[in-house]
């Protein structure tokens, strides 16, 4: 058997030069398994239409570029179009998919079998239309209403994922009933196909290569920004797309959590914690957290204590997750934080993951009455199991997170990057 021929697409291997390569992301050869992108796109569009049919909606209007990617496979300046409404997509429940592309960009989605027609988008948000927004939004709404008349079979119920009030008012003025499209898209995206899992594996592999290079580069005198930049470089070099946050902190900036990386210099003996939040190849998310110790020397007893608690929390909670378990049951049976760390708890115990962080969000019991909602874990869902351990008023904290697939037998860990043996108190 040839070296690494047993590896699935998206796994890392060591090359003869000593650098890490990622199979399935930089080059694919004809002896390796390929991801069937047509099957991927057909599955995702079918999931979306299934949710529309269940609610008796005639179609959905998508502005969120992540939802457009899910429905069609089309990509165009994703981060920029998250805050500039220059492209959108209409998906008929029984009928065509029509994408409205940004100025001079109809060539980008050309050839995708999911898309029947490509049109030029009508801009009515203020940056694009200025004082002409009120008249342009009427043209926009009339065009969409015409599509619904021709392909809705008399059904006037249109789901919309994101839209400003001018657009909602204009659609209603055309006689359309505007429904919540975020429920449709989040529930459609929750169950992953084998092709989606292969894409996710490729992103995780890229993230873990970046994590390994960060670990190798970590030394006193490096700034947080310099260390964080390594993950970005590796992601882009391997065909990744962007990183959603800047969550890397060192020393006292690790407590409380959610401090973004800065030009702080990392000092010897400090903990360095980060959350990848990486959108890698094929636009799938690798959401993994680790905490490193910056030598020389050995971690303190307190650093090890915090790390062991975080390690215990995620492993205990992973063992609980299985199909049929409700989100509330997980909250009630999950590993209990020490009282000294409860006030600094993470926002969720578990959250879904796919093209980005997504449904569901499973909250701590302390937050249930305010934020909690129930549902059931299902086979085929991918979720991230979270831990942040930091004492109120303490000097440092530990962030760990694992990405898992829910199978009929329970949770299967997808992220394989090792934990810190010295922080677990084991001899290396």
CA–CA distance, 181 with 52 (Å, rounded to integer): 9
**Statement: residue 12 has pLDDT above 70:** no
Q: Which residues, in sequence order, are CB contacts of 243 under 8 Å at separation 6+?
A: 231, 232, 235, 276, 277, 278, 279
Percent of the chain with pLDDT over 70: 92
Determine the straight-line distance between the first and last CA of the chain, rounded to whole angstroms.
32
Confidence bin at 27 (pLDDT 50/70/90):
low
pLDDT of 323 > 60? The answer is yes
Tell me: the pLDDT tens digits for 294-321?
Answer: 999 999 999 999 999 999 999 999 999 9
How much is the CA Rg of the chain, to the nearest whole Å?
23
| pLDDT tops 60 at residue 17 | no
pTM of the model: 0.92
The pLDDT of residue 37 is 97
Query: What pLDDT shows up at residue 29?
Result: 61
Instruction: Tell me the domains of the chain and their CATH numbers.
Output: 37-189 (3.40.350.10), 194-413 (3.90.230.10)
Look at residue 31 and tell me whether its pLDDT is greater than 90. Answer: no
pLDDT digits (tens, 9 = 90+) for 339-369: 999 999 999 999 999 999 999 999 999 999 9
pLDDT band at 149 (very low <50, low <70, confident <90, very high): very high
d(CA 152, CA 180): 17
pLDDT at 279 over 70: yes
Task: Yes or no: say if 223 and 253 are a contact pair by the CB < 8 Å rule.
Answer: no
Q: What are the pLDDT digits (tens) for 191-215?
A: 999 999 999 999 999 999 999 999 9
């Amino acid at each position: 058997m040839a070296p690494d021929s047993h590896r699935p697409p998206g796994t890392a291997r060591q090359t003869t030069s000593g650098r890490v390569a990622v199979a399935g992301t930089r080059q694919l050869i004809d002896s390796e398994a390929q991801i069937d992108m047509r099957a991927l796109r057909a599955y995702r569009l079918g999931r979306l239409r299934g949710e529309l049919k269940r609610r008796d909606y005639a179609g959905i209007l998508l502005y969120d570029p992540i939802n457009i990617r899910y429905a069609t496979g089309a990509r165009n300046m994703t981060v920029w179009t998250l805050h500039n409404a220059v492209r959108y997509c209409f998906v008929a429940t029984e009928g065509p998919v029509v994408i409205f592309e940004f100025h001079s960009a109809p060539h980008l989605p050309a050839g995708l079998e999911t898309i029947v027609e490509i049109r030029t988008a009508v801009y009515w948000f203020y940056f694009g239309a200025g004082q002409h927004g009120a008249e342009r939004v009427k043209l926009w709404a009339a065009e969409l209403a015409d599509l619904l008349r021709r392909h809705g079979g008399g059904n006037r119920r249109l789901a919309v994922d994101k839209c400003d009030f001018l657009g909602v008012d204009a659609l209603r003025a055309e006689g359309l009933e505007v429904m919540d499209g975020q429920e449709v898209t989040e529930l459609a995206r929750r169950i992953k196909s084998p092709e989606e899992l292969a894409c996710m594996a490729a992103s995780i592999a890229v993230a873990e290569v970046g994590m390994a290079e960060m670990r190798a580069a970590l030394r006193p005198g490096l700034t947080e920004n310099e260390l964080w930049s390594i993950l970005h470089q590796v992601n882009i070099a391997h065909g990744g797309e962007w990183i959603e946050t800047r969550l890397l902190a060192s020393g006292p900036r690790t407590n409380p959590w959610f401090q973004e990386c800065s030009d702080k210099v990392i000092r010897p003996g400090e903990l360095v914690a980060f959350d990848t939040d990486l959108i890698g190849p094929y636009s799938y998310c690798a959401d993994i957290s680790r905490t490193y110790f910056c030598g020389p020397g050995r971690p303190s007893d307190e650093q090890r204590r915090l790390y062991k608690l975080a390690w215990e929390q995620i492993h205990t909670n992973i063992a609980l997750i299985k199909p049929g378990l409700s989100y509330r049951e997980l909250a009630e049976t999950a590993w209990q934080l020490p009282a000294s760390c409860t006030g600094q708890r993470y926002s969720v115990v578990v959250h879904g993951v796919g093209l980005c962080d997504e449904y569901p969000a499973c909250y701590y019991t302390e937050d249930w009455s305010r934020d909690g909602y129930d549902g059931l874990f299902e086979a085929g869902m991918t979720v991230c199991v979270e831990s942040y351990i930091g004492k109120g008023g303490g000097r440092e904290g530990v962030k760990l997170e694992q990405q898992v697939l829910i199978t009929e037998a329970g949770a299967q860990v997808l992220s394989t990057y090792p934990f810190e043996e010295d922080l677990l108190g084991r001899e290396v």
